A and B are shown apart, each in its own frame.
Chain A
């Protein structure tokens, strides 16, 4: 059985311009200990997917229009707020892009860590303190015992993200969702944090969903990958297959348009055009206006995400096994 099953998930928002569907018909599963990468450009629906799973989108304006999320056999999308609260933290935990906004500036990091522990486990104050020190040490905060009394602003950006990871992992969740955990960080620190996440997966055996717009971060971490475009999954594959035999023209475009350190390119293969506005998406395949392989049939209906080669699936009527 999968740890997480997401089936046909569609989340809509009420906006001034009417209702928009931020994500549409999103389905995937995640096994224990697996690292799933979700990659896509701005507005593709990565964060909304994560926040819907976590039950963190306020209704209104957000509304789950259809589909369900099942975690460890329990349907989360029908859970009361109180029970969902329990799952958050000990079952599923989340780390956000901007560690400063998700840490409370008026409490020390020790207080915030122990607060999380208290909410989920019965521990003596001494045991809480010990666990807090252990977690901070584990995520690479030097002299952790001394840093418990520090306020968030006294830490560097990289240290704050480490503290966020420590808080997220304090109750040993079985699934960690990391939404652009390194986007705001410098490259040397980004590399350290990604390595840390991989080590923690090995050590604690949790599953991870890592959300990013950076194909390099995916190449660095994921076992399996979902590629999202304009609210829909357009490709799903094991990591090796995605990089060696990308099936969807958008995925190929994403891989080709970035320069690489390993290979010189005289000119970048840019994807023409821009991402569609969610309020006025093109008919049929949403990538069609930018796609070099477009034929008339592409605009007739939204292509379904179909298995092309084993577990490798793409939502493109022209995708064929290689």
Chain B
């Protein structure tokens, strides 16, 4: 399969603590630190990892909402990293994002029709009959009633607001959609509706998804492949069944073991499986040297503290960065 989007050695640094002379906490935060990945046409790549590991930053980098500090991004084989904004316009159209917070992401003073139409207008459409027709089609597609057009976001429930956000993201008929925790803020009974909708739309509109979430079960359900991030780096990526059945990286193993059991009968075995990883994620401001997971890893070796493990591919399509795997 050819890649729709590909990134090589992407980095994004944020400056912090500037101007505070006495603060030892000043310098650069490497939110994304050397990430390479590719997403094939029509594929869903899941991206998991704990809070602050850089998932949203990576998603925003890929669709050029923010500028990378280093590295390159290719969309349909063409480098889009250092293109002037004007030349990017067509590519931008093809890359959209759906946000976690259906409350914050929509302008409260705009009618739903105008919210969904806005991206079309930005890309040169006129506010006329055909454009309105497109909005009606989108409403229908995401399962909102026609009369929703004339209402305001606060008149809708969380799930319906997320449908509005999806309609807005898809009205330009993008190819790649970054779904940044699209169901995390929703009640579970409504989460399932939105997950199903995203799957249906993917089939109908031939979409490619980067699906970001911290819920491993949802990610497993919706993805083809899954990437695991820890403190700015992708530590493992594989086809989903392979990843969940045979995780190679100790952090992936810990994440899977931490998922609450689906049935109370599995309590004891689940507990035994997760007993070994302790502690919290270290601060991203001062990541540990060598392997960033070494402060929590039950298998830590001397080399892990000194040397950063390189990405290896022990099985076709299964990549991992861990000295345990490299040395075997």
Contact = CB atoms under 8 A, between A and B. Distances in A.
Interface string B78-122: 000000000000000000000000000000000000000000000
A187 B278 CA distance: 12
Contacts of B192: 257-258, 268-271
B280 A156 contact: yes
A186 B188 contact: no
A261 B220 contact: yes
B50 A186 contact: yes
Contacts of B310: none
B281 to A, nearest CB: 6
A216 B259 contact: yes
Interface stretch (A169-177, A189-197, A297-305): A189-197
Given A188-B277, A195-B271, 4 more contacts: A157-B51, A219-B263, A257-B192, A261-B217
B189 interface: yes
B262 A216 contact: yes
Interface of A: 41-42, 140, 156-159, 186-192, 194-195, 213-217, 219-220, 222, 239-240, 243, 253-254, 257-265, 267-272, 274-275, 290
Contacts of B258: 187-188, 190-191
B22 to A, nearest CB: 17
Interface in B172-195: 187-193, 195
B265 A41 contact: no
Interface stretch (B33-41, B249-257, B313-321): B249-257
Given A257-B192, A267-B199, A159 B280 contact: yes
Interface residues of B, number: 44
Contact of A265 (B221, B255, B266): B221
B41 to A, nearest CB: 22
A253 B267 CA distance: 22
A290 B190 CA distance: 12
B25 to A, nearest CB: 12
Contacts of B50: 186-188
A268 B221 CA distance: 9
Nearest to B277: A188
Q: Which of A42, A215, A264, A274 has the most CB of B within 10 A?
A: A274
A254 B270 CA distance: 22
A270 B218 contact: no
A229 to B, nearest CB: 10
B187 A275 contact: yes
A272 B193 contact: yes
A192 B278 contact: yes
B188 A243 contact: no
Majority-rule SS of B interface residues? helix
Given A187-B255, A219-B267, A257 B188 contact: yes
A42 B187 CA distance: 7
18 contacts: A42-B187, A186-B51, A189-B280, A214-B188, A214-B260, A219-B260, A219-B262, A243-B265, A257-B192, A258-B191, A258-B192, A259-B217, A260-B262, A261-B216, A264-B221, A267-B199, A268-B195, A275-B189
B265 to A, nearest CB: 7
A213 B187 contact: yes
B189 A254 contact: yes
Contacts of A268: 192, 195-196, 221
Interface in B240-295: 244, 254-267, 270-271, 274, 277-278, 280-281, 283
In this complex, the member of B216, B254, B263, B271 whose beta carbon has the largest number of chain A beta carbons within 10 angstroms is: B263
A270 B265 contact: no
Contacts of A272: 193
A6 to B, nearest CB: 24
A257 B189 contact: yes
Contacts of A265: 221
Contacts of A239: 264
Contacts of B262: 215-216, 219, 260-263
Contacts of B195: 259, 268, 270
A195 B278 CA distance: 12
B157 interface: yes
B309 interface: no
B214 interface: yes
Nearest to B50: A186
Contacts of B254: 188
B277 to A, nearest CB: 6
Nearest to B271: A195
Nearest to A260: B262
A223 to B, nearest CB: 9
A186 B160 CA distance: 27
Contacts of B221: 259, 264-265, 268
A243 B264 CA distance: 8
Question: Which of A159, A240, A262, A270 is most buried by chain B, counting CB atoms within 10 A of its CB?
Answer: A270
A272 B159 CA distance: 11
A217 B258 CA distance: 11
Contacts of B191: 257-258
Nearest to B278: A192
Given A187-B258, A188-B277, A219-B260, A213 B217 contact: no
B212 to A, nearest CB: 14
Contact of B196 (A216, A243, A267): A267
B295 to A, nearest CB: 11
* Residue among B50, B260, B270 with max Cβ neighbours from chain A (10 Å): B260
Contacts of B157: 274-275
A125 B218 CA distance: 50
Contacts of B188: 41, 213-215, 254, 257-258
B195 to A, nearest CB: 6
Contacts of A274: 157, 159-160, 187, 189-190
